[in-house]
Amino acid sequence: MADFITPVSDILTRLCGYCSKWADSIRNLGDNLDSLKNASNELDDRYRDVKRKVETEENKPDQELEVLNEATGWMGRVEVLQNEVKAILQQGNLEIQAKCFGGRCPKNCRASYKLNKMVTKKLSDINDLSSKGHFDVVAKKYVRDLFEKLPVDETVGAESTFEELQSWFQNDEVGIIGLYGMGGVGKTTLLKKFNNDFLSTKGDYMVIWSVASKDADPRKIQDDIRKKLRVPDDNWENANDKARLLYNILEKKKFVLLLDDVWERIDLLKLGVPSPNNRCKIIFTTRSFEVCSLMDAKKCIGVKRLTPNKAFELFREKVGEITLENPLILPLAMQVVTECKGLPLALCVVGRAMANKKTPNEWKRALEILRSYPSKIRGIVEDVYYLLEFSYDRLQNDTYKSCFLYCALFPEDYNIKKGELILLWIAEGFLAEFDNDIYEARKQGEDIISSLKYACLLEDGEEEDTVKMHDVIRDLALWIACDHDEKTRFLVHDSSKTSGLQVYNRAKWEEVEKLSWWGELEKYINDLSQVPHCPNLVTLLIRDVWTTSFPTKAFVLPNTIRVLDLSGCGSGRLATRDLPSTIGDLVNLQHLNLSHTNIGHLPKELKKLKKLRFLLLDGLPNLEIPKGVIAGMLSLQAFSMMALKFSVVDEPMLLHELEGLDHLQDIRISVYSPSFTEKIHISSKLQMCTCKLLVVKCSKLDALFLALGKMEHLESLAVAGSNISKDTEAANIGRGSLFQKDGHVIMLRYLYLESCRNVLDLNWLKHTPYLEILELRYCHLLEEVISEDIGIVKNNLFSNLTSLRLEALKNLRSICTMTLEFPSLKEIKVYGCPNLKKLPFNSQSALKNLRLCGGDIGWFNELKWEDEDTKNLLSSKFDTWSPFA
């Protein structure tokens, strides 16, 4: 009986306790509602005080005053909370009035209980928000963003147009100004000059620059605006109405929006840009006068060609004074200028092409070629292409021409990575002269890029080590590559720039030799009545594509294919994890790039690709490579497999197979096996071929460092974690040079060390004269980067260093024991290095290129300086910096 009674008793006890707690909650509802009402009134009083302060500051005429986001954010949260509290109080009054049994019992106990829980929660929220509502200051004078100068050549002959633009800009009645003119006439140059020379003096304006381009994507322009406004990524991604978010910020700003290369109407209001007034201006460039009307421009300014005198001045600047001093060349040069008809782009390109022509006969021949084109120019082709084709024709040889045209396979305004571009050139056979030496081929590729940039056919990209094509130049290249629009040899499709798929008949598809596809692919596959057959296809670039199937579903791939690049089709884009076995049928394939896709397994049929020279597998952390696949690629010259996560690849097997390939010259790899350092120390093949290396948890860091002396092609080394517990072993790495010969050279350009706890110094860096980027993090025993007397190598040490980042080095005392010149340094960032009290700079250091000195403000203020000039220079460049920024 007791066994039955005891459990029942326990249940009843707990039930009574729960009911008691429930009843207390209902009983206290009235008191809690009163408390909530009182707290809400107190919060409302505080809100009104803060609001009054904010309104006072907003009404002040000082344009540099800006209300703190902290204050406006608090007010917004109060408004939301008070609305919620108001609804709860109204519901509470109804519950109190609806009680039965003489007002002693609620009609709906469950609803009253839930309401009391809500009351308690909101009371807590009010108290929390009220405690944060103490604002001694609600507005501060903001420091205007560092003015961003735009890269631009010196302008010639644009003085009157510049003055006209300046005059209309200062007219309060003109909010939108359009600059129109033909391609290459200098509209973008003029807009950049206006930004640099005029807007830089208008400290009260925020200047926003965005390139619209053909088929402008509003999201790209919005993103440029929000980046300038420094809208946090999280806020931006979570915003339901991005236009409204931008509008609410911009309407309180005084700004100028510069839009370059507008081809059609852009609805600014839908982007979140307020209607122009005397506080905001919009200036855009376009090739079409009609677009000025569509954009509601209040003033349209035509950018005209140069007068003969100004045209000759620009041409002389590009050719050089010495050449034109020859009295026999001068009249010929004036005739060449006349043929260019005042078009700045043509003058620049032709002038550069003629810069190395030193004899009158060369100039006569050039003039004859130039005059062979029609003298009466009509439209873009006549005005630009023929003149630019002259520059194309003057390229050194067919190799240079093929390399130039190839750049048009990338989308408009695309930043093309130099290394990636050169590797594609090699695979295409453009640099066949160096087929057996990939390093010499790369050097030749660099020379070609330099020549194309000098000829104004390529320009520096917006990112490091990239190039890009001006849209006019790119259109020219496609026009030439397609035999002046007679054949479809090149086919480039960019989903972000093209509204629909151009339909080609069978004959057109059969002409295609190089096919480049960017963006969405799946919906276009469904639109095709039959899968296109391209029997002459040599190159297939399918990049950043949204598709769920392998490209064989979209195109019939012939065995003529030499280059297959699917890179960037990852993260749900290329859904398949396995390559089809039919890839082994592409027996002429020389370049296969599967980087950053979802490919998880390489089929054994890849062994059939006996001509494959380049295999790129970056960003594939879960890749499986069957035994013998790599060993079967007998022509392989370059292999890359860089991944930031642990790989499932059998590393010892992979390294063994790579080591056995006779033609392999370039290895770029990340390794996680502790045995790697032992392998690299004894393998002359791996030492010779490794160009880029990421080692995770290196077991023998001293062995790896010693191997550097034999790795003559290693450009990039990253080590994340080295675990050696004995202090004696740490001392062996830290004290004294690893190399005995002062003349020894290590080719490293990039070095990254993280959590290498056994390193005391890096004296061996005196052997790395080409080092450009040095990043050191969490190396807790590191005391000095260079501790030795550097002697005769002083002038070379860090002479090419562009970036120095030091983070969480708690024992670091010195970068170098003596001051050095840093002629190439662009940035230095220091964070979490409390014992670093002095930087190796003085007023004699060549810091002309320094753009940023970043770090903890407390650390910076405690630094000791060689002289005031150095302190003032770095102070002017200093900005606070957080880790991982």
Assign residue 288 the CATH number of its domain: 3.40.50.300
Q: What angle do CA 7, 11, 16 make, to 5 degrees?
A: 150
746 and 786 belong to one structural domain: yes
pLDDT at 337: 86
Domain boundary among 331, 353, 381: 381
Is residue 474 situated within a structural domain?
A: yes
Count of domains in the chain? 5
DSSP annotation of 197 reads I
Domain boundary among 437, 461, 481: 481
Is residue 438 situated within a structural domain?
A: yes
Q: What angle do CA 672, 677, 681 make, to 5 degrees?
A: 155
Domain boundary among 278, 302, 326: 302
233 and 270 belong to one structural domain: yes
131 and 75 belong to one structural domain: yes
813 and 692 belong to one structural domain: yes
701 and 794 belong to one structural domain: yes
> Whole-model pTM?
0.63
Burial 595-622 (b: 16+ CB within 10 A, else e): bbbbbeebbebbbbbeebbbbbbbbbee
Domain that holds residue 422: 395-481
341 and 292 belong to one structural domain: no
Q: What CATH number corresponds to the domain at position 451? A: 1.10.10.10
Is residue 427 situated within a structural domain?
A: yes
414 and 366 belong to one structural domain: no
Q: What is the pLDDT of residues 257-290, one digit of tens each?
A: 999 988 788 998 999 999 888 788 999 998 777 7
Query: For the chain, how big is the Rg over CA atoms in Å?
Result: 34
Q: What CATH number corresponds to the domain at position 322? A: 1.10.8
Average pLDDT of the chain, as a whole number? 81
- pLDDT-derived band at 64 (thresholds 50, 70, 90) equals low
Q: How far apart are CA 43 and CA 823, in angstroms?
A: 58
Is residue 32 situated within a structural domain?
A: yes
List the one residue out of 369, 408, 410, 362 whose CA is nearest residue 386.
369
Q: How far apart are CA 336 and CA 346, in angstroms?
A: 11
Q: Is residue 222 predicted with pLDDT exceeding 80? A: yes
Is residue 126 situated within a structural domain?
A: yes
pLDDT at 442: 93
Is residue 822 situated within a structural domain?
A: yes
pLDDT at 791: 57
Q: What is the pLDDT of residues 735-767, one digit of tens each?
A: 444 554 556 788 899 999 999 888 888 988 888
Least confident of 119-128, 141-150, 386-395: 141-150
Query: Hey, what amino acid is at 272?
Result: G
319 and 233 belong to one structural domain: no
CB 443 within 8 A of CB 427: no
Q: What is the 3-state secondary structure (H, E, C) of 207-261?
A: EEEEEEECCCCHHHHHHHHHHHCCCCHHHHHHCCCHHHHHHHHHCCCCEEEEEEE
Q: Mean pLDDT across the stretch 136-141? A: 77
322 and 442 belong to one structural domain: no
350 and 458 belong to one structural domain: no
89 and 226 belong to one structural domain: no
Is residue 529 situated within a structural domain?
A: no
Place of tokens 């406006």: 72
Is residue 33 situated within a structural domain?
A: yes
685 and 807 belong to one structural domain: yes
